[in-house]
């Protein structure tokens, strides 16, 4: 008989929280009882889970009692306030915010990349940034085979990365512009419709954005390799769902595009779409709603002997957030002795 678990989802009414619930159901996660949680203003709403209506409960000091696992998708402030309380109550927290990612006590997990790191958890496990997840899923097979010295990545990130407010702003602006009306911007510093903004999150003292430095720092932690040099440029584009990335790497030893393509074809979680002569390459419109990381345009760099370039696309709400979190929970239940907390 399959063991079942008491599972909570904090931020259950948000876009990623809804995807977490859908993933739990779609993947057949062994849920004994589900406890959806949200802020007091969202509490009381009813959500559907596996054919039944469940009432969303307000988050509070006693909200995590009796839970085995709690998926967090309520933002960094909420994670900072509630994650330790949940862990001390006995629930293993899988947190989707940036709050705990660089904490040395907290493993930062992509199941296809560093599953073994989960054994180091003390009650809180961090879900990486959406752009980091898809990049490292694509690079892991190559890193293992020949090593990677340098990564230069440019991202093309959809507005759903900002949440429902980003989706609504793009939709509203498109409608107004096509009706010859003025489009106002509140969510982004400039109009996003028919535009590209090289600006995601706040600018830091080094003139990189916080989003760009997340990709740098998280890559080093997940690969557990401080020798990789990483540079990122993150761009918001007028696409509703899915992030795209142009990735250039310098490998430690030479590898042909053909050999890299073969490695990626065999790797878990990756779907290679790479037939340029047939106009077949990863597209956001085809990756939307999917859990795979799509990889294509794999080719040797003409300017560097050990250079390799590729194009990577993934659904940022699914593999970039909700699916990765549920996959982390699946790692936990494969070794039930890991479902414990000793957060000091």
* Domain pair 5-128+321-338 / 132-316, same fold: no
Tell me the β-bridge partners of 293: 270
Phi and psi dihedrals of 253, rounded to 5? -130, 155
Q: How high is the pLDDT of residue 235?
A: 98
Choose among 219, 214, 204: nearest CA to 113.
Answer: 219
Tens-place pLDDT, residues 80-115: 999 999 999 999 999 999 999 999 999 999 999 999
Please report which confidence band the pLDDT of residue 2 belongs to, taking 50, 70 and 90 as the band edges. confident
- The model's pLDDT over 32-65, given as tens digits with 9 standing for 90+, comes to 999 999 999 999 999 999 999 999 999 999 999 9
Q: Which of 35-44, 109-118, 215-224, 245-254 has the lowest mean pLDDT?
A: 35-44
Task: Kindly list the catalytic residues.
Answer: 130, 243
Rounded to the nearest 5°, which phi and psi values hold at 51?
85, 0
**What percent of the chain is modeled with pLDDT above 90?**
98
Contact 222, 113 (CB under 8 A): yes
Is residue 139 over pLDDT 90? yes
Could you tell me the residue ranges of all domains in the chain?
A: 5-128+321-338, 132-316
Categorize the per-residue pLDDT at 179 as very low, low, confident or very high, splitting at 50, 70 and 90: very high
Q: How far is CA 25 from the centre of its chain?
A: 19
φ and ψ at residue 30, rounded to 5 degrees: -75, 80
* 294-315 pLDDT per residue, tens: 999 999 999 999 999 999 999 9
Please tell me the distance from the alpha carbon of residue 136 to that of residue 339, in angstroms, as a whole number. Answer: 26
Average pLDDT across the chain, whole number = 97
Q: What's the CA gap between 78 and 305, in Å, rounded?
A: 47
Does the structure show a pLDDT above 90 at 288?
yes
CATH 3.40.50.720 describes domain 5-128+321-338: yes
72 vs 128: CA distance, rounded Å: 13
Would you say residue 1 has pLDDT above 80?
A: no
| 150 contact partners, CB below 8 Å, separation of at least 6 | 228, 229, 230, 249, 250
**What predicted TM-score, i.e. pTM, was given to this entire model?**
0.96
Binning pLDDT at 50, 70 and 90, where does residue 23 land?
very high
Q: Do residues 295 and 264 touch, judged by C-beta distance below 8 A?
A: yes
Angle between helices 130-146 and 210-223 in degrees, nearest 10: 40
Class in CATH terms, 132-316:
alpha beta
- Please tell me the distance from the alpha carbon of residue 15 to that of residue 12, in angstroms, as a whole number: 8
């Amino acid at each position: 008989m399959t063991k079942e678990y008491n599972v909570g989802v904090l931020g259950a009414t948000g876009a990623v929280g809804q995807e977490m619930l859908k993933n739990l159901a779609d993947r057949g996660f062994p849920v004994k009882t589900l406890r959806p949680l949200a802020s007091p203003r969202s509490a009381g709403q009813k959500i559907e889970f596996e054919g039944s209506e469940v009432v969303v409960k307000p988050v509070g000091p006693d909200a995590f009692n009796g839970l085995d696992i709690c998926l967090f998708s309520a933002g960094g402030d909420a994670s900072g306030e509630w994650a330790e309380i949940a862990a001390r109550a006995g629930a293993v927290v899988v947190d989707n915010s940036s709050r705990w990612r660089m904490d040395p006590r907290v493993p930062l997990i992509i199941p296809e990349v560093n599953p073994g790191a989960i054994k180091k958890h003390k009650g809180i496990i961090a879900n990486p940034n959406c752009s980091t997840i898809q990049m490292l899923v694509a690079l892991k097979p190559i890193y293992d085979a020949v090593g990677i010295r340098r990564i230069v990545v440019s991202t093309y990130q959809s507005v759903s990365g900002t949440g429902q407010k980003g989706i609504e702003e793009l939709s509203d602006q498109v409608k107004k512009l096509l009706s010859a009306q003025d489009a106002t911007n509140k969510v982004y510093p400039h109009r996003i419709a028919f535009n590209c903004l090289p600006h995601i999150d706040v600018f830091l003292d080094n003139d990189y954005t916080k989003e760009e430095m997340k990709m740098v720092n998280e890559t080093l932690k997940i690969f557990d390799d401080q020798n990789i040099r990483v540079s990122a440029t993150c761009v918001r584009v007028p696409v509703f769902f899915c992030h795209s990335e142009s990735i250039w790497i310098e490998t430690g030893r030479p590898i042909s595009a053909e050999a890299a393509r073969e490695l990626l074809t065999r790797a878990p979680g990756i779907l290679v779409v790479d037939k340029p002569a047939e106009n077949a390459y990863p597209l956001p419109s085809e990756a939307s709603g999917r859990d795979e990381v799509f990889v294509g345009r794999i080719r040797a760099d003409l300017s560097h002997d050990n250079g390799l370039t590729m194009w990577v696309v993934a659904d940022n709400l699914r593999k970039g957030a909700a699916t990765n979190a549920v996959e982390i929970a699946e790692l936990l239940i494969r070794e039930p002795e890991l479902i414990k907390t000793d957060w000091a």
